[in-house]
């Protein structure tokens, strides 16, 4: 599988990254191990996780995903073959991450998070350590949202002022110098946020941003509005999450279906993809995929994989069959005709699910 450089670092990451947020909730340890086996046999070298995982976040499950990755790497003895990324939570009123208090992006909390992640992963360093979401009170995903969309509810529950970017970045500088992390990344971040972190790094405050992990798919192309230029000019790699729109671009939810065992059926967490008119747009894209003779999941995944600004697309699965579909999308020949067709839909419907 093709490898691409992560930002200005010397890390080469596979064009597909293996996501992990179902391991420990929807998937067992054995199933997580089987997914990693399959992905690495197919040329993937990149795993993304987070201290928060698995999804949905709960005190009793938090951290299970990292433990599953740790036992797999220990059993395989392959830590040197894995580009390993994890994340520290942004500001949250949930107390279970730190044990006795809400969490924010200050030194004590970041150090606590990285030490716990390293222990669970059974490693002495992370190749990429990311801020899962900003300390600032902004809409989830840092994307333009529909009129009246709520801001992050949990951020408002923490009364303290937001943590300055320079203060946060200085902690990551300590972690790099201590050898606990190699590179620094952002997630669910805005153009202003990326540029502010870059500005502080250029002043010598801390490490340079290597990557940004944001949602991007047929239903949400907001990255193209401003972030694409920022990342291209500043050599910040895009790591796409949710290339299948949380499963809504696979066709399984078409016509209001809610298959037994699906994430939306189990957890009722599909609100981002259940906005007004979203179902009609999803059906239109899924129907378009079939008109080209492709499964909707393959079509949606191939769209993302063929964007010129992509470094790696993070795919997640609950079955090996789903993972096979996601991995095989790299072999789909994406044509000018397909691009013209999806652009025509996008021009008319915009971003229904930012």
Mention every residue, 6+ apart, whose C-beta is less than 8 A from residue 288.
299, 341, 342, 345
Please tell me the distance from the alpha carbon of residue 163 to that of residue 198, in angstroms, as a whole number.
16
Cβ proximity of 124 and 118 under 8 Å: yes
Backbone angles phi, psi at 239, to 5 degrees: -110, 110
Taking the CB of residue 199, how many other CB atoms lie within 10 A of it?
13
Q: Is 55 left (phi over 0), alpha (psi -120 to 50) or beta?
A: beta
Q: How many CA atoms lie within 13 A of 273 on its CB side?
A: 27
Closest residue by Cα to residue 20 from 298, 315, 319, 329 = 315
Rounded Cα distance between 51 and 44, Å, is 22
Integer angstrom CA distances of residue 103 from 78, 197, 292, 310: 33, 20, 47, 31
How far does Cα 287 stand from its chain's mean position?
A: 26
Active site residues: 53
């Amino acid at each position: 599988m093709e490898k691409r450089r992560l930002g200005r670092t010397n890390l080469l990451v596979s064009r597909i990254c293996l996501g992990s947020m179902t391991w420990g909730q929807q998937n067992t340890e054995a199933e997580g191990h089987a997914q990693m086996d399959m992905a690495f046999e197919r040329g993937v070298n990149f795993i993304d996780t987070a201290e928060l995982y698995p999804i949905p976040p709960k005190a009793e499950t938090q951290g299970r995903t990292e433990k599953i990755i740790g036992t797999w790497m220990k059993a395989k003895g392959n830590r040197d073959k894995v580009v390993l990324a994890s994340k520290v939570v942004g500001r949250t009123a949930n107390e279970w991450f730190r044990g006795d208090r809400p969490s924010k992006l200050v030194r004590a909390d970041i150090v606590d998070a990285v030490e716990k992640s390293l222990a669970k992963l059974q490693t002495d360093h992370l190749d990429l350590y990311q801020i899962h979401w900003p300390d600032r009170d902004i809409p989830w995903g840092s994307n333009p949202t529909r009129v009246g969309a709520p801001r992050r509810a949990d951020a408002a529950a923490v009364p303290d002022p937001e943590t300055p970017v320079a203060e946060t970045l200085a902690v990551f500088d300590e972690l790099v110098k201590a050898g606990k992390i190699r590179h620094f990344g952002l997630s669910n971040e805005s153009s202003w946020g990326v540029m502010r972190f870059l500005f502080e790094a250029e002043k010598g405050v801390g490490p340079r941003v290597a990557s940004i992990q944001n949602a991007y798919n047929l239903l949400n192309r907001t990255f193209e509005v401003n972030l694409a230029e920022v990342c291209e000019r500043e050599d910040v790699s895009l790591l796409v999450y949710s290339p299948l729109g949380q499963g809504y671009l696979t066709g399984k939810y078409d016509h209001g279906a809610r298959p037994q065992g699906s994430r939306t059926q189990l957890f009722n967490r599909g609100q981002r993809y259940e906005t007004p008119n979203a179902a009609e747009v999803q059906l239109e894209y899924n129907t378009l995929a079939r008109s080209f003779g492709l499964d909707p999941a393959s079509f949606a995944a191939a769209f993302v994989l063929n964007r010129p600004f992509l470094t790696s697309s993070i795919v997640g699965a609950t079955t090996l069959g789903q993972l096979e579909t996601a991995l095989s999308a790299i072999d789909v020949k994406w044509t000018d005709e397909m691009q013209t067709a999806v652009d025509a839909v996008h021009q008319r419907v915009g971003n229904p699910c930012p």
